[in-house]
Structure 1
Amino acid sequence: MNYLKLPVVILVTLFYTLALVVDRSAGVFYSLLLLLALVGIVLRAKPEEKSFLYLLKEYWPLMLAMAAPLLAVVANQLSTGNFTGRSYDTQSRLAVFALIFWAMQFIPFQYMKQVQWGLIVGVILSAAKIYVLTGDGKTRYGTDFIPIIIFAELVLLMSVFVAFSISWDTSRQRLFAILKIVILLIGIYVAYLSQSRGVWATIPVFAVIAGVAARNIRLSHKIFLAVLFALCVGSAFQYGSIIKERVAVAEADIKLYTTNTQVDTSLGIRFQLWRGSWILFKEHPVFGVGIEGYSAALAELAERKIISPFSASLPHSHNEILFMMVRLGIFGLFAILAVYFVPLYYFAREIRHRDNEIRCVAAMGAALSMGFFTLGLFDVVFLWWECYPYYVISVAFFLTYIVKRKKLLAQYVPASEVQV
């Protein structure tokens, strides 16, 4: 199946390059990867001497976790007897993870590092896009085909992936490493221009993950980097006009909400929806109100004077976990936690590995899972089409890289001599 390896790596590279800047391109590349996976199954391919069924057996907890939201929808509709086909649409995009993971197995290990070029170019193109649409931060657009808060988080994540990929470079590629640091700074600049407080909240999370993964850095150097990071953040708050304005707005919103002066502010709406979602979950704890019943449930809360009519008109709860809980009950809660934390488990167990490459790719995966989780506390990430292939492709690619790297080390380097 050598003829499948090049198309797969090209599609993954193009996905990171164009998914956030060209409308519908994410769906096209995702569909083509699924098609290649199906071709491999039909032709009984065995990349790495493993069949598709073998992969299912070996990684069934991960496959089940990704299918959990779809199973939660099934549970809800079985409880009501009301089966609506479109309710399966979004959740099925995660459930096909097994096929995407299978497709990744066709990429030879020596090709996998080429994907970093897609990440680098993707960050640059995305930065140009937000620079133009915001007028260098002078305005804040809502969305083109993907909301600015989701867009900025995905770009920031790509820049973090690029920074961690410095471990792929040799000592003779120091200029390349400098380029990657510049790409990270560009990603942070995109986050800054987005004016999204939820995106900013993920930056310290990534810094902690980097600190954990930096096994071969002396404690004194870690302390120095931590202090430097704190100074940079402090300087941004002190001198960054966008951050100061957004913090001031947040303080004003909280005051207006707590005094009941104006509840339909940016934060006030979130507070209402969080409270309303919790009430609905307590009233429908097992199966939830259903995906199709969410809008009607909010309208009922407005009639009961629990939330404002404007808040009741919004499409989601501004919190991924609460959104799944209110729509799909306890099944939805377990499903979204599985989507976050089962992949995180696979990466976290490798984040202190002796091998530098494995450790840094595990950090990429951990940043992905924790980035989606953290932003999901303030918004609903999996409401947008581009986020499904982004998450699935990234989890599949990083885990495949780790597996192939381990196989290479076991084949050529004794475990006791793995280079740190």
Structure 2
Amino acid sequence: MKNDIFSKLYKFLLLSFPVASALSWKVIDIVFVLLIVTILSEGVLTRSFVAQWNSFKALKWANLFIGLWLVSSILGYFLATDMGPERVEEIFGLRWIISFYACVYAGTRVDFSENELRWLLSIFVGVLLLGVGYQYLVIKHGPRFEGTYENANIFAYTLLIPWTILLVFEAMLYRKRKSTDPLLAFSIFTVGVMIFFTMGRSSWLAMGLIFTAVSLILRVRRNMYVIAAGALGLLLAFQFNFFGFKDRIVYSFDFSSGSSQSVRVNLWRVNWEIFKDHPVFGIGFYENIRMTGDYYVKMGIENYEVSTDGIRSPVPYLNHAHNQLLQIMAGSGAVGTVSYLAMFSMAIFYFFRRTQRVGSERVKYVAMAGMLACLVHLLTGLVECPLMVHQSRSWLIFVAGICFGILAGDTPVKESSEV
């Protein structure tokens, strides 16, 4: 039943998520909490949790690997640290995985029209623009775009998943109508410009790979002209150093002490050493940040950031691993790492297989969106830790969860003649 009051509530909450993500991670948490409360309320009021249990059972192998990863991440704290209130709080903080299951169930209960998705994604872009305006006009912080987010890098790699969804959705409508949707094209361009002006080099590379992959997989020939024009524009930007583009590219090869590349390499070395010392269950998912300073001393590493003005930070750089796989290895050990890799490998395989199955064209695009969301996560995870950040983690949970839910129920999103 997709027209009852609970289905309408699920639809409202899911449609609220993109706007919430453009505002604050705290608003995202409110949306997820309301979604979970709604699911529990439905079960209590209908005196049955059969539908919720069936959506959970449908994940099968995902439950196994998520469970193994969680157990390993928690055991790491008990085996490698002196448990205290902070560690207990961090273990409790892993409850965000419940939001994934909530999105899966909600995905089995809702239908979205093309028009709803089209306008929702456009409103999301509008709120992002307001956030950038707030950044520059109110708090007067720049020059890199970051909107209301903590920093430019988080802003950049969080936007990559919704930008990918915009690309897939627009390509779907283009193949169907043989014409470009101006509102979606504007939204794609606007988010692309935002990502560009975060000046995140890995995000630039990810944008190029994602756009090319979507264009080739969905065979959108029109996009080949966009790729050619974009390549020409980047060459000109590099040649004449527009927006400091050449400086950022050249800086990528600077591994001098204090450069961001040097800082990352040292973090990679430290987390690899942590993994070697705690190879089975790791030290707890978030614990490596706390242990990094001790490992700097143990390994004889001085890891201080130096700004572009040559100012050295007064304290060592303590942060996550800046590589999602190393973060998992240090925090969850070999058990968690194998589970993490198996989970994403099988998710990508599942989504890919659904894109090849004979059936609704819409379901194929849902599977494509889920597959690309997982691939974008792995891509950004090469130099960042998207699971450690509320916004990027929430977009993965949101998209992958809904896509799993739709496909588990084999429920295509609703056809609409309106746009």
TM-score range, shorter chain: 0.7 to 0.9
Are residues 1:394 and 2:399 paired?
A: yes
Is contact 1:165–1:361 with CA below 8 Å preserved after alignment? no
Partner of 1:92: 95
What residue identity is the alignment partner of 2:122? Answer: I
CA distance change for structure 1 residues 68 and 230 in 2, over 3 Å: closer, same or farther? Answer: farther
What residue identity is the alignment partner of 2:97? Answer: L
Are residues 1:323 and 2:327 paired?
A: yes
| CA RMSD of superposed structures (Å) | 3.4
Identity %: 17
CA offset digits 1:179-207 (Å, max 9, x no partner):
21111111110111111112112113312
Partner of 1:121: 123
Are residues 1:61 and 2:61 paired?
A: yes
The farther-off stretch of 165-174 and 27-36 is 165-174
Instruction: Give, in whole Å, the separation in 1 of the partners of 2:166 and 2:127.
Output: 14
CA distance change for structure 1 residues 152 and 278 in 2, over 3 Å: closer, same or farther? Answer: same
CA distance change for structure 1 residues 112 and 40 in 2, over 3 Å: closer, same or farther? Answer: farther
Residue 227 of structure 1: how far off its partner (Å): 4.0
Is contact 1:126–1:155 with CA below 8 Å preserved after alignment? no
Partner of 1:25: 27
Aligned ranges 1:15-414 → 2 under 5 Å: 15-22=17-24, 24-44=26-46, 51-77=51-77, 79-80=79-80, 84-107=87-110, 109-111=111-113, 114-133=116-135, 139-140=143-144, 144-166=148-170, 169=173, 177-215=181-219, 227-238=228-239, 240-251=242-253, 253-254=254-255, 256=256, 263-291=257-285, 293-295=287-289, 297-308=291-302, 310=304, 312-338=316-342, 340-353=344-357, 355-402=360-407, 406-407=410-411
Partner of 2:9: 7
What residue identity is the alignment partner of 1:100? Answer: C
Residue 273 of structure 1: how far off its partner (Å): 0.8
Q: Secondary structure at the match of 2:22?
A: coil
What residue identity is the alignment partner of 2:42? Answer: G
Partner of 2:310: none
What residue identity is the alignment partner of 2:397? Answer: V
Partner of 2:313: none
Partner of 2:312: none
Is contact 2:168–2:365 with CA below 8 Å preserved after alignment? yes
CA distance change for structure 1 residues 394 and 295 in 2, over 3 Å: closer, same or farther? Answer: closer
Q: Secondary structure at the match of 1:75?
A: helix
Instruction: Give, in whole Å, the separation in 2 of the partners of 1:142 and 1:122.
Output: 15
The farther-off stretch of 60-69 and 327-336 is 60-69
Is contact 1:72–1:331 with CA below 8 Å preserved after alignment? yes
Instruction: Give, in whole Å, the separation in 1 of the partners of 2:182 and 2:66.
Output: 36
Instruction: Identify the structure with bigger relative contact order (alpha carbons < 8 Å, sequence gap 6+).
Output: 2
Residue 40 of structure 1: how far off its partner (Å): 2.7
Instruction: Give, in whole Å, the separation in 2 of the partners of 1:276 and 1:67.
Output: 27
Q: Secondary structure at the match of 1:314?
A: coil
CA offset digits 1:60-94 (Å, max 9, x no partner):
22334444442222332454585542232332212
Instruction: Give, in whole Å, the separation in 1 of the partners of 2:190 and 2:228.
Output: 21
Q: Which runs of 5+ in 2 are unaligned?
A: 306-315
What residue identity is the alignment partner of 2:5? Answer: Y
